[in-house]
Structure 1
Amino acid sequence: MKDPPVNGTWDVTCPSRRKSGGRGNAFCDRLEGRTAPGIDLFAPVPADALCSAEYDRPATATVAGRWKGRRVDARFDRTNGCETARWGRLRPLLPPAH
């Protein structure tokens, strides 16, 4: 089986729980399990964040679509520890950087 490409664009559409009667699809349910009140999985790393110089395999991604009833258009990379952790929070949507 061929690994998915590391760089690319991913589309995601998850219905709000109210509109779907409390049911989502399996991917959306897994993504929901990674959230906490006040946490935005798609928010960029704050400009003043202190991040490690850790550099993982280079990768870039764009995620566009709808999440919890709002439009998402986010860019991801793996250029430092904060960005790599942010990428990891979007697993399984974003592929591992092998």
Structure 2
Amino acid sequence: MLRRLVLTATVTAAALAGAVPAAGATPLPFPLPLLSAPDRLTVIVSDTGNTRTDGRYELTCDPAGGTHPAAVKACARLDELAQEDRNPFAPVPEDQMCTMQSGGPATARVTGTWQGQRVDATFNRANGCEISRWRTMEPVLPNTRS
């Protein structure tokens, strides 16, 4: 969220600096500030073993809303990760050593926009790295621990 505010302020300042009319020219109407679009994500979760958490959810932030069952907490978590300068949608690096454990068959796909960037990320619980990545995204993704 902080990054979005700084970007909006920078773009607005640049637009205002370029809007100064030349001497003798008729001034243009005051430009509207450029507002960044809110975070808007679609979360599809399946095979968690809990029919209450499987499904398709819409999540919007700033303000929190949509059909996500924990929209306020999910947006707060995404803001926290943004403040830490972390990209929770980045895949596990291919050369990452991961424990060979299974966290179950749960899968999720998240698409949309976050921090002004397009998102198309898949999540699973196939090994220790993927389990950790899933947990980092809770409560955007459901808690699958019993």
- What's the TM-score bracket when you normalise by the shorter of the two chains? 0.7 to 0.9
Alignment match, 1:4: 53
Alignment match, 2:139: 92
State whether residues 63 and 73 of structure 1, in contact with CA within 8 Å, keep that contact through their aligned partners in structure 2: yes
Structure 2: runs of 5+ lacking an equivalent: 1-50, 65-71
Higher helix proportion, which one? 2
Could you tell me the TM-score, scaled by structure 2's length?
0.52
* Coordinate RMSD, CA, aligned: 2.0
For residue 79 of structure 2, what is the amino acid of its counterpart? E
For residue 42 of structure 1, what is the amino acid of its counterpart? F
| Correspondences of 1:55-94 after superposition (within 5 Å) | 55-94=102-141
Aligned sequence identity (%): 42
Structure 1: runs of 5+ lacking an equivalent: 15-22
Distance 1:9 1:50, change over 3 A: farther
Look at both structures and tell me which one has the larger radius of gyration over its CA atoms: 2
Q: How many residues of Structure 1 are paired with residues of Structure 2 in the alignment? A: 86
Could you tell me the TM-score, scaled by structure 1's length?
0.74
